[in-house]
Structure 1
Amino acid sequence: MKKKLLILVVLIIGMYFGYRYLYHEHRDIAKEEAAFALKVPALLKEFEVDETKANTKYLDKPVLISGKVTSVDVPSKTIVIDKKLLAILVKDTKVEVNTEISIQGRLIGYDNLLGEIKLDQSTIK
């Protein structure tokens, strides 16, 4: 009986830690401090020179990017900055084309075919 009880307790503890590992709280990029603050051309140049090194440095980190808005798509909550950075906003925000902004988000990758950097969980600062 003690052996069955011990197995049950170990199983419940294992399930608890497994659940906590799989279903932890999501990151709030807007509340995190930006690891890097750059302009779009400088960031783009780093990816063009050495994509692997730039991915190691910036991928999945909060970055603060500044530049001029070149396109806004309200329904999909996306904006394009300097024609080379696509940012997906967390919430609807009114942004005008040809205005200088700073945006913080999580860098999710570089598309070398289009030469475009992508951010998600973005907020305008």
Structure 2
Amino acid sequence: MKKRNYILIAFLVIVVGAYTGYKYLYKNHRNIETEEASVKVEAKELVGMFASDNTERILNKTVEVTGVITEMDAQSATLDEAIQCTFNQLPQGLEINKKVTIKGRCIGYDDLFEIAKLDQCSLTHYP
């Protein structure tokens, strides 16, 4: 009888552990578009934060950046030649030399090209 109880308890622990692991691995992804921005800055200020090693406040956080579009390609726009913003789908009507505000997740800084990178971007203000 004791051996049976130990086997039952071990089985329950394994089932609960497997369920917990499954829920942890397959939890819902963040929706950056609906999140409140933790930092709101101009494009040049964001690059300055990386230059001063003040990255804990912005790395992997939702950031809202304002700047002028200086370059565009199929899925990204560059603000003030300093911030590369990657969209899931590029919004319609964006034009070079227009001031915009974009919200996205800050994923890091490219030392080689000297640009900060945002992904999962969405357009929040376009005059």
Instruction: Compute the TM-score of the two structures, normalised by the length of structure 1.
Output: 0.91
Q: In the alignment, which of 20, 23, 36 is matched to residue 23 of structure 2?
A: 20
Q: Which amino acid aligns with 1:121?
A: Q
Alignment coverage as a number of residue pairs: 120
Gaps of 5+ in 1: none
Query: Percent identity among equivalent residues?
Result: 32
- Residue 68 of structure 1 corresponds to 68
Is the Cα–Cα contact under 8 Å of residues 76 and 90 in structure 2 kept in the other structure?
no
The structure that is helix-richer by fraction is: 1
Q: Which amino acid aligns with 1:67?
A: G
Instruction: State how 1:1-125 maps to structure 2 within 5 Å.
Output: 1-48=4-51, 50-51=52-53, 54-74=54-74, 77-94=75-92, 95-125=94-124
Max Rg structure? 2
Q: Secondary structure at the match of 1:31?
A: coil
CA shift for structure 1 position 28: 0.4
Q: Secondary structure at the match of 2:8?
A: helix
Instruction: Compute the TM-score of the two structures, normalised by the length of structure 2.
Output: 0.89
